[in-house]
Structure 1
Amino acid sequence: MITVKDTVHDHIEIDGVAAALLDTPAVQRLRHVKQLGTVQLVYPSANHTRFEHSLGVYHLARRALDHLEIEGRHADRIEAAAMLHDVGHGPFSHNLESLTHRRTGKYHDDVGELLATGEVGAVLRDHDLDPGHIADIVGGEGTYGQLVSGELDVDRMDYLVRDAYHTGVPYGTIDTGRFVRELAFVDEGDDADAVGGSRTLDGPSLVLDEGNVQTAESLLLARALMNPVVYTHPVARISKAMLRRAAADLLDATSTSAEGLRRMDDHDFLAALRGCSETAELSRRYDERDLYKRAVWAEYDDVPDRVHEADHDTEVSLEREIAEEAGLDREHVLLDVPSEPSMRESTARVTVNGEVRRLERQSPLVSALRTAQRNQWRLGVYAPAAATDRVGRAAADVLGLDPDALVSEVRKAMPTTLDEFE
């Protein structure tokens, strides 16, 4: 047995297949992939990695298995999946995932090939575990996949408390002990309130036991509060957009493949950017925190439907139009259109008066938080500081926005010092 001292869960004991997986290259690589990507440019202590998060997910999975009295082969599979659930992440975690998905068709949880080969595959087979089955659990498939990737998964429980701890914000604190103790597998049967509109499972659903509506709401609230102050902070969004552009330019300018990019860690990626003439300037800006600034920061209802619905090629075309109207090269204009507001946690299931119900149909908080989420949504257009005024005016014209309401608002809020910007 291996014992690891963790900042969040204190001592984590690792044994069995998880201990054998710990020192494989695929898992050790996660020591060099930051959990929060570019958020460290806002919160300097947010340097925790996907490696320590994977240990935390494994730890919470073990506690859940003990509570649910799941043993033997089923437990081994879940423990392996918990330890391996993030090995498919590319550099800077989710930041580049939209790019690599467009070029490979794979998300970070598409790990079938990765688990079937190399040392990971050998370890799994040595423990009489089918790599394909473990990959399915990582992807949230089947009854037990819900524990690793679902509405009440141990992944979410760990990253919220871990991200809150390392950023120092007081919003992501949830009672992981209570969550784990109150989990249960139930057969929903044909209950319309439980099933209507949600995904269909071949077996029982993972729910929170009787009397835990507020427990489920705490997860929802923690995620909703962390989103604007950490995950979608303007500085984090601008730096992410800059790295996405640099990554696309790297793939276009060099022999680096999208599959190769997925297997890099943060250090590999930054080194590749610095060594490529087409990406050297964006790399310098990131290294020196000389970031682009906001030229437009538009609310959801102020953005036309055609922009909300734009695919990647359309966004690139809009960037070119904005740059041309502003008299700039496209490389100096970044259009950042977030995905539609969503709240996966709202479909978590809770037991109320002996009946399984979806949280969104039980809790009045869900509607309020959905409204707040929509109100927090912002479209961003970024450019070098000296060009924000003309880029803002050009973007307002090309995108069909109100220039007085949008560009002037950003200009008035434009920082004069680093501290004011953050």
Structure 2
Amino acid sequence: MNLLAQYYPEHVKLLNQRVAEIVSREAIAGLVIHSGCPQRQFLDDMDYPFKVNPHFKAWLPIIDNPHCWLVVNGTDKPTLIFYRPVDFWHKVADLPDAFWCEHFDIQVLTKVGDVDALLPKNRKSWSYIGEHIDVASELGMTSHNPSAVMNYLHYHRTVKTEYELVCMREANRIAVTGHLAAKNAFYHGASEFEIQQEYLSAVGKTENEMPYGNIIALNENAAILHYTGLARQNPDHRHSFLIDAGAQFHGYASDITRSYSFEKNIFEELVEQMDHLQRAIVDMMAPGVNYVDLHLACHDKIAQLLLDFKLASGDKQGLIEQGITRAFFPHGLGHMLGLQVHDVGGFLSDDIGTHIASPSAHPFLRCTRTLAVNQVLTIEPGLYIIDSLLSELKQDKRQSQVNWDFIALLRDFGGIRIEDNVIVHRDCNENMTRELGLN
């Protein structure tokens, strides 16, 4: 925790500098950043789990308290309006007392409706950043999430401060603990639901505290990219296990995937080769490298893997150009990671919002940027037996290039995905996931 206190002053200083730059550029008074409001369930008296505005938690690690506000202009000391009602139905938040408090003028709000008196008076010259436009309008703010401001913040948010990197290393450490527990549960015969409970117990979190819904998939379920079924019953035969699960620390996410074979067989050999492939792509990361080029290199390596295992025939370039590799690896190589799992800014070439489109042949990419120092990204190649995609290959001459008997053998195993969280440094890459003990 000492590292958090050590690095936080520079973090908040940089955030203030960014705000000062964009408010000057856009000739506005400052930003009013809303933590958010609870969302009531339809026809009920209970709320959905609260998810804080990522622009709010960029400043401070308050991730579970709605109705809070930040007033920042880049010059004056930021103001935190902290919501702490008088409430005997629910536990109210404790008054802030942490390493970051000295950097804010903290004002306590006891009634939601009283925030009007604590916000700036000339609100038409301030921009509201948040989800609840109706609340902002009612409070007299007419500028809502202006695109110029959002593009600027999103572009620069991809480069992490030292404070943020400390948080993300801790998010990885927590998740690695869960992954090791889940792996052990799989090999000891647990069901998907039981593996999920082992994971949550190991990380010490509830399901609602996860950065995303864990993917815990046995056998053929591993071919469903966003599977969240969590079957209670064990399958008749145990073939494979895919886990895609992360953790959060101070609002920063980790996102890690591993695949396992229950027995030593050809599928285990495939997993090992996919692991080598993934490590090779990580080794190619460096400042100045274009992420699209990494994605294309991944398809080249997957084409070679298909040939090596006789899953397909022909030549590498032909397998790529005909879309055969896409039938086995249909998603993008990875994404930006940070305050959100699929973090913003992955398509921006500059801070005015110039968009870098994905190649038409690869529409599911989540990042097209050139890598820079202190960016954090996932690298997650996959190889799946997805019948709806493979069936398209049967409709034309490509069917003769696919080993359908091998496909039938692999169908019970579902698929493979290997995902690490990597920091791009000037002279090396820091694979947080591997360095924290998950191989």
- Same fold by TM-score, threshold 0.5 exceeded? no
| TM-score interval for Structure 1 and Structure 2 normalised by the shorter chain | under 0.3
Higher-Rg structure is 2
TM-score under structure 1 normalisation? 0.28
Structure number having the greater strand percentage: 2
Structure number having the greater helix percentage: 1
TM-score under structure 2 normalisation? 0.27
